[in-house]
């Protein structure tokens, strides 16, 4: 059965491997088979999360044909907070959705 492994080591640095595994292979087994647990020992730390097609998955999850296994880093900043800060930094605009804010409202709303 064919799967794809992805690991984003850093921003814009993604390791991708297409792998053929046996039926009943687990997520951890696929990472071991690819040699990633030895090559990237930080994968097993709690700061990194494994998932299948963008959804969090346990290390002992049995893989299926065509699964895309992703090892991802945690978020540094909450996306909602980052968006508010971007809008606040842009200042008042003369056109667009956020040109006329109500007095006292948060930026971006």
Mean pLDDT across 39-68 = 85
Q: For residue 74, what pLDDT is reported?
A: 76
Please tell me the distance from the alpha carbon of residue 31 to that of residue 33, in angstroms, as a whole number: 5
- CATH superfamily of this structure's domain 2-73: Beta-grasp domain (3.10.20.30)
Q: For residue 37, what pLDDT is reported?
A: 83
Which of 6-10, 63-67, 88-92 is predicted with the least confidence, judged by mean pLDDT? 88-92
Q: Where are the domains of the chain?
A: 2-73, 76-109
Which of 50-54, 70-74, 84-88, 95-99 is predicted with the least confidence, judged by mean pLDDT? 95-99
- pLDDT tops 70 at residue 91: no
């Amino acid at each position: 059965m064919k799967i794809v492994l992805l690991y984003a080591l850093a921003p814009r640095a993604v390791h991708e491997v297409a792998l053929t595994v046996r039926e009943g292979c687990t997520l951890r087994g696929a990472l071991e088979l690819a040699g990633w647990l030895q090559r990237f020992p930080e994968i097993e730390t709690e700061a990194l999360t494994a998932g299948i097609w963008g959804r969090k998955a346990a290390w002992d999850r049995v893989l299926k044909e065509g699964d895309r296994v992703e090892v991802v880093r945690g978020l540094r900043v909450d996306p909602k907070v980052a968006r508010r800060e971007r809008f606040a930094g842009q200042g008042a605009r003369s056109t667009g959705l956020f040109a006329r804010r109500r007095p006292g409202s948060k930026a971006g709303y």
